[in-house]
């Protein structure tokens, strides 16, 4: 007999997940328009009030290269302010549950984070990144993998000494937009290397939408077989083929319970043009069409997980409202379908019902809830040729 209980079929699948938001950093870094500091503060606050507890605030790299983050210190100072802490208390949010992350791809940014920590406005968690495919790694970091690993080891020691956590990202797990196919075993090895040199947790990243559901399930099963503590693992999926929701499902089935997303599915390589001026960013884009670059949407991922009956801690309706506001902020239609269509309502949409059904049923002498002719048997009799053997 077929097993119908989803959690018995996939015994590792979690009943509760954590979904971090990375809109203000990864989402905005790809936009070719500066988002005002006031708007960034608004969305940071509202995401936290709507249930987000793990949030990426900014990038502490050189703002000359990425001017979208020229207000990094102002954002961190606001989130460390007594005013914001007071607002959290009034909203019933335990401030100590919030983890503020800043991206620090190179050691200089880690040093900057430590200085901010000394001033009382530093982040709780930093993030550095390697790619298993070295051309992609070089495009993001500007150096070789061996050199970067040594830099990361030094940086983690500094980070830990300063009382901050370090997340080590492994990218190009399922393929590289520059080098093509990659080997899953390399990503497993890189994960172990991050933990060996002291990283606190690992972001497993599909940075160009290469992942397919079977390989996502295969990879995370490999990871959890060797490193079973799910607190250590975070799934990061990009959306280029409209199949990333399948990757989220496959990761859940494998046992992953930590994810991250952006509002509207924004995100991607840092912009090399901002407002009216070319900027350096990370150089030329390594994709052909910017319309198909971005992450899984927070709105759609939340609806997907919510409708599976998995706990997540968010006010979904508030997030859908924020998603509609975000489209106004950036001035264009984004990639969330849920902000338009909402959730699947158990009560349906009675306003779309055509008039006259009950009157017609009464005319035919049918009961209000009758679905079959009166003289039919109570149960269907399946022809023998269609019956299960």
What pLDDT score was predicted for residue 3?
A: 85
**Domain containing 366: what range?**
350-386
| pLDDT, tens digit, 9 for 90 and up, residues 169-211 | 999 999 998 999 999 999 999 999 999 999 999 999 998 889 9
Measured distance CA(32)–CA(329) in Å, rounded: 13
Query: Is residue 147, in this structure, part of any structural domain at all?
Result: yes
Locus of tokens 């000494």 = 161
Same domain for 211 and 334, yes or no, is: yes
302 shares its domain with 368: no
What is the per-residue pLDDT for 241? 85
Helix (H) / strand (E) containing 3: none
Rounded to 5 degrees, what are φ and ψ at 318? -65, -40
Please indicate, yes or no, whether residues 225 and 100 belong to a single structural domain of this protein. Answer: yes
89 and 119 both lie in a single domain: yes
Is residue 330 a part of any domain in this protein?
A: yes
Tokens read off for 300: 């759609």
Question: So what's the pLDDT on residue 267?
Answer: 94
* Residue 1 scores a pLDDT above 80: no
Judgement on whether residues 122 and 99 belong to the same structural domain of the protein: yes
Q: What is the mean pLDDT of the chain?
A: 95
Does residue 361 sit within a domain? yes
Residue 145, domain member (yes or no): yes
State whether 152 and 41 are in the same domain.
yes
pLDDT of amino acid 345: 85
> Does residue 241 share a domain with residue 360?
no
| % of residues, the chain, pLDDT over 90 | 88
Structure tokens at 59: 């990038």
Q: Is residue 183 part of a domain?
A: yes
Residues 371 and 279 in one domain: no
Regarding whether 378 and 234 lie in a shared domain, the answer is: no
Task: Compute, in degrees rounded to 10, the torsion defined by CA atoms 377, 382, 383, 384.
Answer: -130
- This prediction has a pTM of 0.94
pLDDT given for residue 208 in this prediction = 85
Closest CA to 235 of 108, 320, 7, 255: 255
Other CB atoms within 10 A of residue 53 CB: 17
216 in any annotated domain: yes
Mind listing the pLDDT tens digit for each residue in 261-289? Answer: 999 999 988 999 999 999 999 888 877 77
Q: DSSP letter string over 330-384? A: HTS--S-SHHHH----TT--GGGPPTTHHHHHHHTT--TT--S-TTS-SS----G
pLDDT in tens, 216-243: 999 999 999 999 999 999 999 999 888 9
Measured torsion, CA atoms of residues 110, 47, 121, 269, in degrees rounded to the nearest 10: 30
358 shares a domain with 258: no
How many domains, the chain? 2
Domain co-membership, 361 together with 226: no
Q: What is the pLDDT of residues 327-341, one digit of tens each?
A: 999 999 999 999 999
For the record, the structure tokens of 82 come out as 């007594």
Rounded Cα distance, 126 and 110, in Å: 8
Q: What is the average per-residue pLDDT within 14-35?
A: 97
In 3D space, the residue among 136, 135, 133, 116 whose CA is nearest the CA of residue 124 turns out to be: 116
Query: In whole angstroms, how far apart are CA 58 and each of 32, 242, 288?
Result: 16, 27, 26
Evaluate if residue 293 carries a pLDDT over 90.
no
Q: Indicate whether 195 and 324 sit together in one domain.
A: yes
**CB of 46 closer than 8 Å to CB of 93:** no
pLDDT of residue 132: 97
Output the pLDDT for position 349: 85
What's the pLDDT tens digit per position in 341-375? 988 888 888 889 999 999 999 999 999 999 999 99
Tens-place pLDDT, residues 63-119: 999 999 999 999 999 999 999 999 999 999 999 999 999 999 999 999 999 999 999
Nearest of 166, 54, 52 to residue 103 by alpha carbon: 166
Domain assignment present for residue 1? The answer is no
What CATH number does residue 59 fall under? 3.20.20.70
Q: How far apart are CA 36 and CA 67, in angstroms?
A: 12
Please name every residue paired with 21 in a beta bridge, in sequence order, or none if there are none: 55, 261
Instruction: Give domain status of residue 20, yes or no.
Output: yes
């Amino acid at each position: 007999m077929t097993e119908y209980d989803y959690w018995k079929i996939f015994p590792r699948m979690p009943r509760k997940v954590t979904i971090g938001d990375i809109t203000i950093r990864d989402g905005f870094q790809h936009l070719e328009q500066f988002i005002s500091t006031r708007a960034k503060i608004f969305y940071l606050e509202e995401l936290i009030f709507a249930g987000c507890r793990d949030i990426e605030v900014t990038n502490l790299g050189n703002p000359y290269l990425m001017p979208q983050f020229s207000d990094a210190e102002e954002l961190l100072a606001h989130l460390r302010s007594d005013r914001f802490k007071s607002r959290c208390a009034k909203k019933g949010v335990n401030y100590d549950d919030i983890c503020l992350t800043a991206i620090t791809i190179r050691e200089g940014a880690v040093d900057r984070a430590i200085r901010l920590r000394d001033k009382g406005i530093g982040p709780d968690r930093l993030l550095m990144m390697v790619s298993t495919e070295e051309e992609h790694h070089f495009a993001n970091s500007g150096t070789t993998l061996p050199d970067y690993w040594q830099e990361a080891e030094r940086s983690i020691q500094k980070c830990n000494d300063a009382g901050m956590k370090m997340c080590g990202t492994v990218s190009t797990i399922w393929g590289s937009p520059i080098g093509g196919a990659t080997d899953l075993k390399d990503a497993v090895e890189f994960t172990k290397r991050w933990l060996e040199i002291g990283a606190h947790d690992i972001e497993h990243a599909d940075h160009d939408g290469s992942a397919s559901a079977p390989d996502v399930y295969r990879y995370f099963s490999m990871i959890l077989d060797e490193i079973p503590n799910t607190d250590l693992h975070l799934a990061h999926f990009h959306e280029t083929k409209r199949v990333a929701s399948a990757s989220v499902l496959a990761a859940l089935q494998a046992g992953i319970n930590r994810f991250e997303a952006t509002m509207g599915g924004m995100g991607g390589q840092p912009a090399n043009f901002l407002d009216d001026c070319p900027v350096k960013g990370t150089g030329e884009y390594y994709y052909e069409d910017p319309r198909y670059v971005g992450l899984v949407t927070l709105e759609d991922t939340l609806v997907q997980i919510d409708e599976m009956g998995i706990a997540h801690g968010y006010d979904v309706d508030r997030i859908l409202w924020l998603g509609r506001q975000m489209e106004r902020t950036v001035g264009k239609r984004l990639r969330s379908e849920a902000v338009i269509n909402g959730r699947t309502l158990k009560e349906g949409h009675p306003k779309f019902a055509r008039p006259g059904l009950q009157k017609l049923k009464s005319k035919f002498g049918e009961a209000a809830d009758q679905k079959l002719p009166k003289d039919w048997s109570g149960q269907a009799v399946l022809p023998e040729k269609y019956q299960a053997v």
